[in-house]
Structure 1
């Protein structure tokens, strides 16, 4: 599928969905839409993902060259920005499907629904959960696969990226591994999954368990994409739901180098790294004895010397192997996780 990716005024730093799709999905990227960077290329900003031109809007692209428009931004709250309406409208008039990971459902927008019907287009609201979800039965721990969950010191620390990188590297090393996608970006990449942050609270653990049970006997290792953080004042509930629903065997703690406060909630400082280990392990223990056996740290904003120092300090704080999964190899982590 050939797609345009909407990332207005956010690419690349605040367009993690766009970056995830460019890095891991099978889509062929025709262009990224970003009014502020129009005329540049993706490779001018991020060299290790699929390259594409950056254009001002859908009107700069040819209808015959596209299959879909993908909204590559996941703002806090998941709202639809009205400045995007013209691009979505143009995409539908071109006959393109529209893929969205927002909490605002495009199929409930009267204008978009009418245009989609008129032009035979699909509106895929990735964050719209299935109607048949139920409470958990507490059986995820019974599957044959080893379940590995990424957890975080905060939201937006790279849990999806770490899950994707570890699963990919495990497969390349000859292991039978899969990703369990729980967020909009992971679902777009994998083409399936449950959007856990949109699920009714009572069904959160059940939605994760359902995916574990579905894939648990097909693979030897399942890498579950974590969400939020157990200390987050807004998103801790989804973190706990995933932790208990997955009943993991091992945990990977993800962090951003130098971050000292909750992103978007800066009055809440991050606890010491060591306390996260106790928090996650103690919370998991009643349903699954899952130790933190490895760490992943995002050092994208640091120079090489500072990045290596940050990795080493993080490993010392954890008392476990750690790495930046984009910057360095994952051999030490896989050794700890797949032994």
Structure 2
């Protein structure tokens, strides 16, 4: 499927859905929409061999032919910005499907629903959970696999990236590995999953449990985490994922240099060693779990040696091996997990 990705004024730093699809998706990305960077190319900002060197354009009218538009931004609160409407409208008028991972449901938008019907298009709201969810039965540990959960010190610290990179590293070692996608980006990449931050609170753990059981028996299952346990707004979804997945191992993700909660800067982040202990204490009554590895996003550090030193300090703080899976190798911590 040929896709264009909407990332206006956010690419790449604040368009994690766009970056995730570019990095891990099977879709053929023909353009990124960002009016601030129009005329540039994707590789000028994400210089990785696996990422296509497609153009950045100002709007859908400037994009090459495509089959679907993906909204590649998930702002705090999951709202729909009015400035995106012309591009969504334009995609539908071109006969293209539209995928979005917002709390704002495109199917409930009268204009979009009408245009989709007129042009035989599909509106796909990936943050639309199934209707038959139930409470957890606390049975995720029964799967014949090592369950590893990526958790974080904050939002946007690399939990989805950790899960994807660790799966690929495990497969390269000959292991049968799977990912459980719990958020909009993972769902767009994998083509299935439940966005647990839109489930009824009582059913969040049950939704995660269902997905862990659904992937079947593997050597290892990597569960994509959401939010953070001490986050002032998103701790509830994190708690549901921890208890629903009943992990044996935890991977603690953090961004180097981040000292306060993103978007809630009056709240300082606890030290990494305290955060690691907090996750272990919280998980323990349901399923004894250990922080067995760390992932540190060092994109804000220019020098490789300084990045390595930051990773070493982080590893010492959490008392577990650590790496930056994009800058270096996820395989550096694989042995402690599987």
User: Which TM bucket (shorter chain)?
Assistant: over 0.9
SS in 2 for 1:5: strand
Which TM-score applies when normalising by structure 2?
0.98
CA contact (8 A) 1:151 1:229 kept: yes
Structure 1: 4+ residue segments shifted above 3 A: none
Corresponding position: 1:329 with 2:334: no
Aligned equivalents of 2:160, 2:178: Cα separation in 1: 13
SS in 2 for 1:79: coil
Aligned equivalents of 2:14, 2:187: Cα separation in 1: 19
List aligned pairs for 1:20-99, cutoff 5 A. 20-48=20-48, 49-62=51-64, 65-99=65-99
Aligned equivalents of 1:191, 1:251: Cα separation in 2: 25
1:281 is matched with 280
List aligned pairs for 1:1-339, cutoff 5 A. 1-48=1-48, 49-62=51-64, 65-217=65-217, 219-303=218-302, 304-338=304-338
CA contact (8 A) 1:252 1:295 kept: yes
1:50, distance to aligned residue in structure 2 (A): 2.4
1:38, distance to aligned residue in structure 2 (A): 0.2
1:169, distance to aligned residue in structure 2 (A): 1.1
1:301, distance to aligned residue in structure 2 (A): 1.0
CA contact (8 A) 1:216 1:222 kept: no
CA contact (8 A) 1:79 1:103 kept: yes
Aligned length: 335
SS in 2 for 1:51: coil
SS in 2 for 1:22: helix
Aligned equivalents of 1:157, 1:37: Cα separation in 2: 24
Aligned equivalents of 1:150, 1:240: Cα separation in 2: 13
Aligned equivalents of 2:122, 2:168: Cα separation in 1: 30
Which TM-score applies when normalising by structure 1?
0.98
Aligned equivalents of 1:24, 1:332: Cα separation in 2: 20
1:305, distance to aligned residue in structure 2 (A): 2.3
CA contact (8 A) 1:8 1:34 kept: yes
| Residues 199-228 of structure 1: CA deviation (Å, up to 9, x unaligned) | 0100000000000111132x2211000000
Gaps of 5+ in 1: none
Gaps of 5+ in 2: none
Aligned equivalents of 1:122, 1:306: Cα separation in 2: 47
Aligned equivalents of 2:201, 2:52: Cα separation in 1: 36
SS in 1 for 2:286: coil
